[in-house]
Amino acid sequence: MMTTRGWTLEQWRQAYNEGATPEALLGELITQLAKPDSTDNAWISLLDQEGLAHALAALQTRLDEADGKIDKLPLYGIPFAAKDNIDAAGFATTAGCPAYAYQPTRDAALIDKLRTAGAVLIGKTNLDQFATGLVGTRSPFGAVANSFNPEVVSGGSSSGSASVVARGLVPFSLGTDTAGSGRVPAGLNNLVGLKPTKGLFSIDGVVPACRSLDCVSIFSLTVNDAGQIAELMAGFEPADAFSRKAPSALPLDAPAIRRPGPLAKLAIPQSPQFFGDVVAEKAWQTAVEKWQKLEGVTLVELDFAPMLELAALLYEGPWVAERHAAVETFMAEHAQNMNDVVRGIISNAGKYSATDTFKAQYRKEELVRVIDNLLDDIDGLLVPTAPTAPTIEAVNADPVTLNSQLGTYTNFVNLADFCALAVPAGFRDDGLPFGVTLVSGAWKDRELQTLASRWLNAHPTPLGATDQARPPETVHTTLAVPTVQVAVVGAHLSGMPLNTQLTERHAWRVASTTTSANYRLFALPNTVPPKPGLQRVHENGAAIIVEVWEMAASEFGSFVDLIPAPLGIGSVELADGRWINGFICEGHGTTDAQDVTEFGGWRAYIKAQTSHA
């Protein structure tokens, strides 16, 4: 029999392309999972063979609709799991509380999207009850153990979803993330944990925790897999009041963390907190040293006091009342059936008045403004995902304090309207995995994936808790906000007089390259500052040095307006054969111009002129 443990999406696809069938592979998987294991609390419900037969019949119907072509179903026959606060027809939804359980009549919007793409939901996973916790121990279905050490917490609240991916049972799973529930378990189990921009994924059909902050999250073995699942799940959902459309442009005066562009300058905590966990602190220091050597990345220390104050508002302020709003009716009749710690936390809602809520909301907005100002020239944040890794026994002895510590670098993210991506960062000296999280502004999800893929290619770890080697990460670099690339050849080059026209529009340099060998370069007469003209020729051409810059599409028009005749923007062929926007010169503009093609580029010509002056 073929084992599927630790397979990525691509490995599942390859198996089907080579002739394997869902009946065989999923049947074997369900048989394996059906064997009783008293130590595995990750699952709340699983498909049985009858349920699998129904799922495979539905899959066949989708395949028939796709003309029998499995490549039209990007997730054909690929199993996944979902946290048991996400509705899926055919499974009860418990939210980690048996007395709350109900049978949904339809799929949550995201479950429907994944099933439509051919994925097969094989089970619902355990969680901290009502998604209230970061430890993975607050469940009547039992604590979920860390996949590397059963005495250590798995992290929560999406504990089961992390565990089943880390052990390679499924290639991806869905969790939820309000305060770090999709990141902390990823960090403690050597996984990728994608916390999207709020509203990028629909929360229709999700039992609310704090509805205004809730996000569905993705656990996967690789960044590439997380990115593919995110592409399938993203999109505006009109029926979901909290769904958002990605903006076509961002304000010119927005801080760097909220503008499109690569993550090059990252802030790290000036005085990181590890609560006495010296092993975690050492792992962080090692990770920082490696990040400092990653090409194109600059780390700067920053005072995280505003972020920590914002994080404290989530559980120490009236946002707990939003959790109460989600389960108010249930608590009124069944409070005795709730986990003691969860009930105690949510019951604190009664301490806060409507006036307190508005005051806290005002303070939140003030802190977000402070954070934006603090990050004015910062592209993103780099933080420890979890500053400590407590044992289950320690959490049971002090459930509130240790839970709070785990959220030190996660709680502020949703309140600040940031996106985040947790990624593996090696192992602690005690053998536990250590993770870091990249954070940036809303709609910079793809930028996070791009940087994370570079990091993991430079510092690969095994996949989850399996012995599978990490394949190369190949995440695309398309940005969420539309952008335009332009090849500049003269006074707009880095360090040249007109380069500020690019930087004022928050453009960034993508590459230094050359045109194809079909151009000639001319020094135009009577231009201030001196400017060249680039012309394409049919013969006797040469490759000319250019820089490729990228900017938000909304800024491109104002940039073009600054270009004087006889110059303009047209199509320029690069050395690799691509055609992109670039500076060109009208034919009449070179009538009295000096041909300077022999210099190979404008910078060399200017340097030669300066040395002769």
Residues noted as catalytic: 83, 157, 181
Residues 202, 344, 125, 312, CA torsion sign: positive
At 390, which amino acid appears?
A: P
Burial zone of 214 (CB within 10 Å; 0-12 exposed, 13-18 middle, 19+ buried):
buried
Q: Map residue 485 onto helix, strand or coil.
A: strand
Instruction: Name residue 419's beta-bridge partners.
Output: 440
Cβ within 8 Å of residue 94, ≥6 positions away = 44, 84, 100, 101, 124
Q: Is the distance from CB of 128 to CB of 138 less than 8 angstroms?
A: yes
Locate 172 and state its tokens.
Answer: 């991806």
Stretch (H or E) spanning 461: none
Stretch (H or E) spanning 308: helix 305-316
Cβ within 8 Å of residue 38, ≥6 positions away = none
d(CA 176, CA 161): 10
Query: What is the CB-side half-sphere exposure of residue 269 using CA atoms within 13 A?
Result: 22
d(CA 263, CA 444): 9
Burial 20-57 (b: 16+ CB within 10 A, else e): eebeebbbebbeebeeeeeebbbbbbbbeeebbeebbe
Q: Pick from 342, 82, 97: which is nearest to 217 by CA?
A: 82
At 248, which amino acid appears?
A: S
d(CA 209, CA 216): 11
Sole residue written with tokens 């041909």: 595
* Strand 579-585 relative to strand 545-552, pairing: unpaired
Maximal C-alpha separation, the chain: 90
For the chain, the distance separating the N- and C-terminal CA atoms, rounded to the nearest angstrom, is: 79
Q: Is the distance from CB of 572 to CB of 579 less than 8 angstroms?
A: yes
Stretch (H or E) spanning 407: none
